[in-house]
Structure 1
């Protein structure tokens, strides 16, 4: 498998929904922020809106859906969006550490986080912080120091040969790593009859495949939870086994 929010992961804006009953006119909680606050209120041993977050049990969406089956406050769609937002926040991603325990909705320890899950969360956090937290490269280039005064005709500072040497060395190391990378594992499409909740599979996301567990199946649409805890919606055609 939280995005900035510390994180800069986008927050779903509030929307207005017409009451379903004029007799019981009640505005439902529909924004992602409100749903997360509602979950923290209903399951305080599992969710929180400030301070350190707790890693969530893989497959917790299904547990929550069952617990909230008779609760009109939040739909499955909104619940899925809220979980995706919560688990992609910087605060949550920082909690995914090696050997830390995931918790269920009652706060009980579940499985331990392994190295692969911890590495994935760290990578996701770094990429998110780089994308949303740092200045754009072109902004940095615009502030490149110059020699002499700021008068017309000033020449840019000479390139540091040491920096060039470091870049060449870094690129050389990257090339070496690519050369010794493991061959890709051949994946097999999962038969539709085997696409069931709780099944461990490989999900194709972009150019890479990741380990995941199926949490919900609705026709050709399938919701899976990655090892990082993040919930992703995909289709049966993107589900595979080794």
Structure 2
């Protein structure tokens, strides 16, 4: 009996299209291939009768796939683009290669900057000497102006979108890495990944 259970996240969809179109999409240590311009329309047409994934889910998964470092590394000028059958077509243009390089650099800079910031924060944190008696914990609350932000709705969120996560009393900055059916997966600037409802996110 054919499995008709709907996919719930981008990871499942990317795994599905990688297995269905192995000459086009790759995974793991296999080098990625630049995709043909208009590959989304081809996917939609080929998966028209596939009830487990919607057009919106497919677009989100394809966006995550093409924003991965592994994929951006392969988009180089003169490299042949491929269709779903793996047949080579047009070359990657200089403009698209430059855009991919810029996107890759910005993504890496952001991750490394966050790691450096967190490492420096840890180094600057003074060590509190241990006391025999239990010290009274003093809670320091940093008040942030969030008047320019509004509560997010599930439909307006997309991958790589900057958001603030309402954790406790202080909103924490992060970026959306996956939009699922009922939850949003967010990577905080600290590197931690959390799953929350859209109502717990605010956007500008």
TM-score by length of 1: 0.46
1:192 equivalent in structure 2: none
2:20 equivalent in structure 1: 42
CA distance in 1 between counterparts of 2:118 and 2:72 reads: 28
Secondary structure of 1:94's counterpart equals helix
- Contact 1:55–1:103 (CA<8 Å) still a contact in 2? yes
Runs of 4+ that moved beyond 2 A: 24-27, 133-144
Deviation at 1:27, TM superposition (A): 2.4
Q: Do structure 1's residue 92 and structure 2's residue 71 form an aligned pair?
A: yes
- Give RMSD over aligned pairs: 2.2
Deviation at 1:67, TM superposition (A): 0.6
- Aligned length, in residue pairs: 121
Q: Report which of the two structures shows the higher radius of gyration computed on alpha carbons.
A: 1
Deviation at 1:137, TM superposition (A): 4.3
- Contact 1:37–1:48 (CA<8 Å) still a contact in 2? no
2:49 equivalent in structure 1: 70
TM-score by length of 2: 0.54
Deviation at 1:138, TM superposition (A): 7.1
Q: Which has the higher contact order (CA 8 A, sep 6+)?
A: 1
- Contact 2:36–2:83 (CA<8 Å) still a contact in 1? yes
Q: Which runs of 5+ in 1 are unaligned?
A: 1-23, 145-242
CA distance in 1 between counterparts of 2:98 and 2:8 reads: 33
CA distance in 2 between counterparts of 1:58 and 1:82 reads: 16
